[in-house]
Amino acid sequence: VSSPPGEFALIERLLSRLGRPRRAILGPGDDCAILRPTRARQLFTIDSLVEGVHFRLTWGTPEELGARALTVNLSDIAAMGGVPTAAVVNLAVRSGLNLAFFERIYKGLGAAARASGVEVVGGNVTRADQLAITIALLGEVRGGAMRRDTARPGDTIYVTGTLGDAAAGLRILSRRLHGRGAARVFLVGRMLRPTARLKAGQRLAQIRPAPAAIDISDGLWQDLGHILERSGVGAEIDASALPLSDAYRATVGDDPALALGGGDDYELLFCLRRELAPSALSRRLGVMVTRIGRITAARGATLVGTDGARGRRIPAVAGWDQLRSRSGA
């Protein structure tokens, strides 16, 4: 009922082709990879892309899918200020997909790995009901890692890039939002071909004291919540300060709902003890940086500036959904 054994073996052989052992003493092909010892602290993370949950094959190319599977992991390494080093891949293969399809997935994954200096040192292929790509990724931090539990009252909160683009792109792909022209291409591209902010994360991690940081994978409001919870603090966010792209404004309008609640942007959110000008930070990190709020001693997150001139405070203790219904967004 599924692909013949011969083809299955070929897919496995594809995986071995990704490895070009440099950092690894032994790459794919044995029971385990062997990595060289290192003095640096090791970061270790894992993430999956599952068909029907995180993607549909009609949305983009297999190359984009393979690259994105690595990028979502790279983003976690970026959030801690690390340098990604080695990965292992598990591919869950369903019936109805041919070898050429997997060659293209591996092509995209391999290109993303080379571009980020990652060695794919091993992998596994399994039959399943749904296509899924799971990647475990190692990284190194030379100095201190950025963590979620180090935000303090008075810290200034910043984000890289623009927010809500991928969420808008996802809605365009699933026909819940109409996009056109260059704006559509940009937003859909932000969903299908996200960028992990590795350089920015590594440069941020050199700031002392190390900033609290997280990558925005589930949406600004939810990911900010992780920092607040882990640090035992609150935050005040200025809705009017959220960085929205021209494509977002042209397609969604000025409503920041998707920028607050939408996921998949893979930008970084970070908190600095000593306030720095966004323009100077942008130059230092090599990506646009925007100041969006402040960490407070009072628990919970508060959104200000959403209610026109009155600037009413809208506390959002129970997450974005509640905030959304209160603000009528």
Token pair recorded at residue 276: 């720095």
Least distance to Mg ion from the beta carbon of 213, Å?
10
Number of residues that bind Mg ion (CB under 5 A): 3
Stretch of 19-27, 69-77, 95-103, 239-247 contacting Mg ion, by CB under 5 A: 69-77
**76 is a site residue for Mg ion (CB under 5 A):** yes
User: Which residues ranging from 156 to 215 are in contact with Mg ion (CB under 5 A)?
Assistant: 215
Least distance to Mg ion from the beta carbon of 312, Å?
32
Stretch of 75-83, 160-168, 247-255, 301-309 contacting Mg ion, by CB under 5 A: 75-83
User: Which residues ranging from 105 to 134 are in contact with Mg ion (CB under 5 A)?
Assistant: none
Comparing CB distances to Mg ion, the nearer of 73 and 162 is 73
**267 is a site residue for Mg ion (CB under 5 A):** no
Comparing CB distances to Mg ion, the nearer of 140 and 218 is 218
Least distance to Mg ion from the beta carbon of 80, Å?
9
Least distance to Mg ion from the beta carbon of 217, Å?
5
> Per-residue x/- marks for Mg ion, 25-64, CB under 5 A?
----------------------------------------
User: Which residues ranging from 204 to 223 are in contact with Mg ion (CB under 5 A)?
Assistant: 215, 217
Comparing CB distances to Mg ion, the nearer of 226 and 273 is 226
Least distance to Mg ion from the beta carbon of 215, Å?
4
Least distance to Mg ion from the beta carbon of 224, Å?
12
Residues found near Mg ion in the complex (CB under 5 A): 76, 215, 217
